[in-house]
Structure 1
Amino acid sequence: MPMTPVRAAIYLRVSLDQTGEGLAVERQREDCEEIAKSRGWTVVETYTDNSISAFNKAKNRPAYDQMVEDYKTGRFNALITWDLDRLTRQPRQLEDWIDAAETQGLRLVTANGEADLQTDGGRMYARIKAAVARAEMERKGARQSRAQRQRAAKGRPPRGVRATGYTLDGELVPDEAEAVRTVFQAFANGSSLRAIAAALSGTEPTVRAVGDRTLIQDLPKSVPPLPTRSGRPWNPTSVISILRNPRYAGWSMLDGEIVRDATGAPVRGQWEAIVPDGVWLDVQRRLDDPRRKTNRAGTDRKHLGSGLYLCGICDSPVRAHGVRYRCAGHLMRVRERIDGVVLQFVERRLAQPDLADLLAHQDDDRIEELVRAEQQERDRLKRARADYKAELIDGELFAEIKQETEVKIAALEIERIGLTAGTAASEILLAPSPVDAFTDADLAARRAVIDLLCEVRLYPAPRGRKTFDPKSVRITPK
């Protein structure tokens, strides 16, 4: 009776490829191919997962999954891998291969010693090895987690995936850091997540028809294209991951949260911040704004005054309606003439020499005073905690002190951040030529400048007059 020819598959995997050269995988391939050659087996397929862990069962291993499907269809009847822990570190997955060896005669060979899953001794060896490997990975994970906590508590750069804008050692990557800064600036100015993602991806503005009109997505001009490491385009979720990261404000973080010391103070990171903490907090407030979350139409504004200008009768924001601004029941005005009046006012104001006075001046003495006051309250809380542990005060008094100090600290932080935070339109106001910067800016940035400089109220056009009356647009400087 002729013997069934052996059709072998090779599975290769390395958990972390530090250099990206795939050399570890190539070494495994050479050893496995030598085994197939020495046994006279025909290699029908080689499956490779490079830089992918087998410890986390939720981790997707495309080549492994394809190999499982191919085995089910009978593509191969022997499997060669460099070591059992290269194949899997999951006992449940190992049991699947043991079942295959027992019921279907699968031959499984490892380069560092044959594991015969068709015998009880081989199966016992494989199970013990898998259990030991998994236990070691769990211990390693615990050690790494503790090391990460220690690094975060000391304000050291986190290990693992490199954050855009920084090296693994916490040094700035200038081009990336500038892109990150402009992302924060654009979002603070009012640009949408989708528009920022499109700008980072270097895509052209999207054009869509709405009735008889054509709308072009206004991309933030300040945001430069920035290729992703995966090569895929940016999306709103990846932009949020940057905007939510407190590391860019210079705060130490762990698992996405700001790390705090024993007194509750945020731990400063040992790296250069890309954005001021006030800007970061302003962005968080906008991300958390329920109005933005419930706006199903998106946050892109297509017109200069939509949602910004106010109705002079009811003080509600006006909305764009075709070529007009509209407040239902009160007014309907042509946009173009109104925008012209507003832009003329803003450009005249931007040309004034006292423009820099519009920006909040940083009161260094007051800031230092606030920092000292915050620390005093934190020290008070720390002493109260120590007194409670030493049973010098009871829990009720400690809770009272804790609540009182936390309220004071929160108020002091709000005032301090208000003194150090810049305005969303500060880049235009501080430009060598603010008028030119305003003219060249994207829609969101121009709206931010208008919002900073003035309030615009629209009134109904005078009855019986067909010509535009500038007095029906009331602009109040701020």
Structure 2
Amino acid sequence: MARKVAVYTRISRDDEGDGLGVTRQRQDCERLADLRGWSVAKVYEDNDVSAYKRNVRRPEYELMLSDLAAGLIDGVVSYDLDRLARQPKDLERLIEIFDNRKRLTFATVTNDIDLSSADGRTMARVMVAFANKSSHDTARRLKRKHLELAMSGKSSGGPAPYGWQKDDPNKVDLEAARHIRAAQNEILAGVRIGTIRTRWHEQGIGRPREGTKRTAHHHVEFMLTNPRLCGYRTYHGEILLSDDGEPVIGEWETINTVEEWEAVCSAVAERKRANPSPAAGKPLARKYLLSGIARCGLCHNKIRGQISRLWKPGSKVSKYNYQCSVVNGGCGKVGRVGEPMEDLIIDLVLEEQRKRAAEDGSPALMEWLGEAEFKSVSDDIKALTTAANNREITMSSVLQILPDLERRRDELKLERARFQRKLKRAESVSEGIKNREEFRDLPIERQQEIILHSLSAVVVHPAGRGRRIFNPDLIEPIWRE
């Protein structure tokens, strides 16, 4: 009876995605098995999978070892030993199976090694050690090459990030850039990334990865805060600095200025600090416009929106209302139907903002007052670094001065980012919204930001006993000065 053997094929990179490399290996292995009179029971194929990287799992290799240990196959045929293993630990696992199961068959197309003998195992270990060293040397050379490319501001290859043309990653994709800028403005106006992600998914924006239903939250966040947007070159996820301590600038077209990019990053970071990741099933997004803004006129506790118990599909009863809740520490005595109260506040706010815009006219261009100091501190850091590189000053002297300068520079960068964010928010609020319908089309976070730009709170006074008809006089807006 012919021995049942496995054919194992592997290739580290299949750039074309056509699997021709592993196909050629399989054909040669099957030809060898046929010459030896063995029957190929199964082909195990790991295409486009590295055997050198420690954090990469080869599913077909693991399955082959399991089947070999279980006695489902009687041996292995591979094109070469380095197709099977480039890490000594992977070879030792295979040798251990050969120890436990005698008379197993092992062969390669390039040369035969007897894993059942001490000499054969020694030779196999030496060959894997040399293959591992070869992979290590290649990885080291590639790492040095990528660092050199990065320092010169060049791209290291790979697909173009969203925002740049697929066929030329140095040129901006104007349509994608427009979506990115619009989303960044929304972030500065208080809109959540999750809201942007949902809309992008509905509109097919953002180049979702093949095989995924929608772009992941952290991918959308990275698209909107990628240092590449303002020209900064990164290396292993960090902004790369030149010898003089300045960020390395890439050779591609930019979508943001440095100040715009910093403002967006600051807005995202501050939101994360204010709202840490919620537990599963408990989203941070508010469903109701005046939740947390409306307050009870009796106990002054915050009032939140909730679905009306009396509402049913098709009924004339309001779908939701605002109720002072005992559970949240309130008196539970004040409530109001949702839609009429929201419509009243929206109309009042839009009218107030239209009047303010007419009185103020075009807002004067605001400038950040710390720009001169920031430039001076940055120039001092650059001068110190250059002097140290030229051995004009000792490193000991540099380290006594540099930390304080760097700390002040980082403080000023944060102040600049906050200023830009505040400026963008003011600009977004001043954008004319013609009517209530346009207001309702905005994301809920954006609506709340507009409301809070004019109001600090909305006080809901009790309506008293008897038939309750919505009375706008019992809704008191508290205007900001």
TM range (shorter): 0.7 to 0.9
Are the equivalent residues in 2 in contact too, given 1:198–1:234 (CA < 8 A)?
no
TM-score normalised by the chain length of structure 1: 0.78
Aligned position for 1:342: 345
Question: 1:387, 1:227 → 2: CA distance?
Answer: 48
**Structure 1 residues 124 and 443: alpha-carbon distance in aligned structure 2, compared to 1, 3 A threshold:** same
Counterparts in 2 of 1:90-109, with a 5 A limit?
A: 90-102=87-99, 103-109=101-107
User: Quick one: which of 245, 250, 262 aligns to 1:278?
Assistant: 262
Report the alpha carbon displacement of residue 94 of structure 1 after superposing the two structures with TM. Answer: 0.8
User: 2:20 is matched with which residue?
Assistant: 23
Counterpart amino acid of residue 424 in structure 2: T
Native 8 Å contact 2:153 2:233 kept in 1: yes
Kindly state the Cα deviation for residue 290 of structure 1 after the two structures are TM-superposed: 4.1
Unaligned 5+ segments in structure 1 are 203-221
**Residues 436/430 of structure 1: CA separation in 2 closer, same or farther (3 Å cut):** farther
Worse-matched range after superposition: 382-391 or 138-147: 382-391
Number of equivalent positions: 452
User: Does 2:365 correspond to 1:361?
Assistant: yes
| Residues 6 and 76 in structure 2, CA contact (< 8 A), matched pair in contact too | yes
* 1:231 pairs with one of 192, 198, 212: 212
The answer to whether residue 29 in structure 2 is matched with residue 32 in structure 1 is yes
Deviation of residue 122 (structure 1)? 3.0
Match of 1:208 in 2: none
- The amino acid of 1:134's aligned partner reads N
Distance 1:423 1:444 in 2: 15
Q: Distance in 1 between matches of 2:410 and 2:92?
A: 55
Deviation at 1:277, TM superposition (A): 1.1
Q: 1:124/1:432 Cα in 2 relative to 1: closer, same or farther (>3 Å)?
A: same
Task: Tell me the secondary structure at the aligned position of residue 40 of structure 2.
Answer: strand
Q: Deviations over 1:225-250 (max 9, x none)?
A: 74323434434344455456433443
C-alpha deviation, 1:304, in angstroms:
0.8
What residue in structure 1 maps to residue 417 of structure 2? 417
SS in 2 for 1:292: coil
Do the aligned partners of 1:309 and 1:456 also contact (CA within 8 Å) in 2? yes
Distance 1:148 1:284, change over 3 A: farther
Distance apart, 1:183 and its partner CA: 5.1
Deviations along 1:337-395, one digit per CA (max 9) or x if unpaired, are 3311221134335656948978783649x79746643432323442675699844x955
User: Cα–Cα, structure 1 residues 369 and 471, in superposed 2: closer, same or farther, change >3 Å?
Assistant: farther
Equivalent residue in structure 2 for 1:293, among 273, 277, 282: 277
Structure 2: state its 5+ residue gaps. Answer: 308-320
Identity of aligned residues (%): 23
Asked whether the 8 Å contact 1:431–1:437 carries over to 2, the reply is: no
CA RMSD in angstroms comes to 4.0
Query: 2:125 aligns to what?
Result: 127
CA contact (8 A) 1:6 1:77 kept: yes
Query: Secondary structure at 2:16's aligned position in 1?
Result: coil
CA contact (8 A) 2:227 2:234 kept: yes
Higher mean C-alpha displacement, 192-201 vs 351-360: 351-360
Q: What is the 5 A alignment of 1:243-392?
A: 245-275=226-256, 276-293=260-277, 297-309=282-294, 318-322=303-307, 323-324=321-322, 326=324, 328-329=329-330, 332-334=334-336, 335-348=338-351, 354=357, 361=365, 363=367, 369=372, 372-382=375-385, 385=388, 390-391=393-394
Q: Secondary structure at the match of 1:289?
A: helix
Using the TM superposition, give the Cα deviation of residue 131 of structure 1 relative to its aligned residue in structure 2, in angstroms.
Answer: 0.5
State the distance in 2 between where 1:262 and 1:405 align: 17
* 8 A Cα contact 2:227 2:239, kept in partner: yes
| Bigger Cα displacement from structure 2, 127-136 vs 366-375 | 366-375
- The aligned counterpart of 2:111 is 113
Indicate the residue corresponding to 1:449 in structure 2.
450
